[in-house]
Amino acid sequence: MRFSKSLLYKVTLLTVLLPLLFASALSAASTSSYTNPINTAGADPYVMLHSDGYYYFTRTLGSRLDLWKSRSLIGIDLGERKTVWTAPPNLKDIWAPEIHYIDGKWYMYYTANTGCGDNCRGIYVLENASADPLQGTWVDKGRINTQYSGLDGTVFDQNGQLYFLYAAYGNWSGAHGSAIAIAPMSNPWTLNGDNAILTKPEFDWEQKGMPVNEARLF
């Protein structure tokens, strides 16, 4: 098959120009910005997709617990929002809330302290039997009976057994810090076994300032 000189010239020109155009597009993209915020502001975000087709979102607000409800992740900021619980005077620093659906009921786990810092910091839980967590009554189930003070609690089901994880405070690396602890649960608000330490600060990069192993695992 023969090609005209004109066609060969065009093919050669495209072969040279396309990589240059592609590189130029990448360069332009790298110097421009793109934003698509799910929530415009908020520390410790947590979101779950429930079987009803809604996303439920919560985050640290310091003195209360709010829930957002949306059909899509990108619609959370414009979704329905409600303050479902306000902290009583004896609880400070309401941090890192999570919402979970366990055995037909809703549970919200959150960190709080009673005014003396890390030594008084623990994880508390609320329960709601309503099908819609923005409705019904949130019942205080109290503080989780963790072996250590700590924060950032979460829960998961493994083959029918509930487990609780949290960042446990202790003297793990020669200084006060946090480690990841896990314990089995007899119900969504009660631990019934040893608090085993999964990870603790051991490497230099984990011990800059306060030694920390701290994460939301699920």
pLDDT in tens, 127-145: 999 999 999 999 999 999 9
Which neighbouring-strand residues pair with 1?
none
Low-confidence ranges of the chain (pLDDT < 50): 1-18, 20-21, 217-218
Cα separation, 129 vs 9, whole angstroms: 73
pLDDT of the residue at 40: 76
Quickly tell me which residue has 């920390």 as its tokens. 212
Q: Among all residues, which ones are annotated catalytic? A: 44, 214
Cα separation, 119 vs 115, whole angstroms: 9
pLDDT of the residue at 10: 39
pLDDT of the residue at 31: 58
Could you say which of 2.60.40.10, 3.30.70.920, 3.40.50.12780, 2.115.10.20 is the CATH number of the domain covering 46-206? 2.115.10.20
For the chain, count helices (H), then strands (E): 1, 13
Domain boundaries, the chain: 1-34, 46-206
End-to-end CA distance of the chain: 61
Strand intervals (E) in the chain: 46-49, 55-58, 64-70, 80-86, 92-102, 105-113, 121-128, 139-143, 150-158, 161-171, 176-187, 190-191, 196-199
Global confidence as pTM: 0.81
Residue 56, sorted as left (phi over 0), alpha (psi -120 to 50) or beta, turns out to be beta
